[in-house]
Amino acid sequence: MMPRSLIRYVALLSLAALGVGIHVFEEWPITEPWPTAALLVLTMVLANTEIELPLAVSLSLIFASVFAGVLYAGPAAGGLLGLAGAVSVRDIREHKSPVLMLGNLAQLLLAGSASGYVFVMLGGVPMQSVESLDRAVGGSLLASAAGVVAFFLLNFTLVGIAVILRTGVDPRSAVQVLNPGAYWVSLLVLALLGWLMASLIALSSWLGLLLLVLPFALARRTFRVYVELSEAFTATVRSLVAAIEAKDPYTRGHSERVAIYARRLAERLHMSRAQVDLTEQAALLHDVGKIGISLQTLTSSEQLRVDEVHQIRRHPVLGAELVEDVEFLANVVPVIRHHHERPDGTGYPDGLVAAQIPVLARVLAVADCYDAMTSDRAYRVRMTRDEALDEMTRVAGDQLDEGLVSEFRSMILADDTGGDAFR
């Protein structure tokens, strides 16, 4: 169920976007509509062509055309193009919540308008307003850079607030979820592309614009090969983990199911593609350290001795040590090591508290807990879905991240009802 605080936030955001939209269109009208119309069509196409960059960051190219609109026609074009790129066919096809789509429309209109506003306030001259392109470019470098920063910061802030209101995570965790540092290089590249697009439009070089955009479309296939290699690697890890788990009939398939739950939760939190993939890989490998624990201890139906409990509690450390020398898996090490930490500090191996625990480890802990409770074990029978969810809710805040438990509960219940913060 959508939190009322998020609904109120989207309503306020929409009213703000409406007011800002009216103001920028009155104050900085688009005097040459056809170039902006061309960018409008291009933005809508790019919004439906998500590209997987080699840095493992999933990023739409719409910022390039939004920024081109800012440079060419100012704040009104930035807001309009942001609006055009806010909702994709995929969002509609996957029945994304209307509230979230409205929020996305509002925040991208505001971000695009703010980028244009900062640009003109710092002396930037829209290209549609000058006869000499050199004059527009020469006096606008600092203003252009400030416009890029304004778009990034406002977009990040508005989306971050939505994530906090929707999931209940603390601001530090929201920053970890959004992972802003992963986007800076890509954003700067897209800003340069936007500047080139605006310049070509100002020169009426439509063929040049086509030739500029075409290589990016072709590069999409090249980047897709990279993604396919990553997916093949994950499939290999999945097969190896299945072979390891085969020795224990009670945990067979556990890591695969946890990976599915964890990935879905990470996607629901609108984490970057890099973090979603990282979450899945960590979930597949989270119990690999149990390979060093005797089968008798793992499958015992009797109460474990103190030394046996200590042995089992070493599996996060053993698992982290097993994968830390694999360069491709270096980033999953802290997630594996800390997936049994608890917000109240009573977890293991390091007794981390609340936000000290990596957010991906907290996501993994929720998924791991649910599957463990809904699976048969040697020492107990499985819980029902509702029993497991109620127990997770009971211990939320102490043993599990409260906001993530709430989001996970909504996700599981939505599976039966047919039932996303902004992307």
3-state secondary structure the chain: CCCHHHHHHHHHHHHHHHHHHHHHHHHCCCCCHHHHHHHHHHHHHHHCCCEECCCCCEECCHHHHHHHHHHHHCHHHHHHHHHHCCCCHHHHHCCCCHHHHHHHHHHHHHHHHHHHHHHHHCCCCCHHHCCCHHHHHHCCHHHHHHHHHHHHHHHHHHHHHHHHHHHCCCHHHHHHHHCHHHHHHHHHHHHHHHHHHHHHHHCCCHHHHHHHHHHHHHHHHHHHHHHHHHHHHHHHHHHHHHHHHCCCCCCCCHHHHHHHHHHHHHHHCCCCHHHHHHHHHHHHHCCHHHHHCCHHHHCCCCCCCHHHHHHHCCHHHHHHHHHCCCHHHHHHHHHHHCCCCCCCCCCCCCCCCHHHCCHHHHHHHHHHHHHHHCCCECCECCCCHHHHHHHHHHHECCCECHHHHHHHHHHHHHHHHCCCCCC
| Domains, the chain, with CATH or none | 4-204 (1.10.1760), 230-417 (1.10.3210.10)
- The whole-number pLDDT of residue 176 equals 72
Cα-based angle 378, 383, 386 (whole degrees, multiple of 5): 165
The Cα 398–Cα 346 span in angstroms is: 9
- The whole-number pLDDT of residue 419 equals 39
Give me the residues paired with residue 51 across strands. 59
- The whole-number pLDDT of residue 258 equals 92
The Cα 393–Cα 387 span in angstroms is: 10
The Cα 288–Cα 255 span in angstroms is: 9
Give me the residues paired with residue 193 across strands. none
Tokens of 172: 């530090």
- The whole-number pLDDT of residue 346 equals 93
The Cα 88–Cα 52 span in angstroms is: 16
Instruction: Chunk the chain into consecutive blocks of 10 residues (it has 423) and report each block's average pLDDT, rounded to whole numbers.
Output: 85 96 93 87 78 45 88 94 87 82 93 95 85 56 91 91 82 76 74 86 75 65 62 68 62 84 90 83 86 66 72 85 80 92 93 90 95 79 90 93 92 65 42
The 10s digit of each residue's pLDDT in 279-297 is 998 998 888 887 767 666 6
Burial 299-336 (b: 16+ CB within 10 A, else e): eeeeeeeeebeebbebbbbbbbebbeeeeebebbbbbb
Question: Is 126 in contact with 71 (CB distance < 8 Å)?
Answer: yes
Burial 123-137 (b: 16+ CB within 10 A, else e): ebbbbbeeeeeeebb
The Cα 150–Cα 157 span in angstroms is: 11
Which residue, among 270, 266, 249, 248, has the nearest Cα to 332 in the 3D structure? 266
If DSSP states are collapsed to H, E and C, what string results for 129-152? HCCCHHHHHHCCHHHHHHHHHHHH
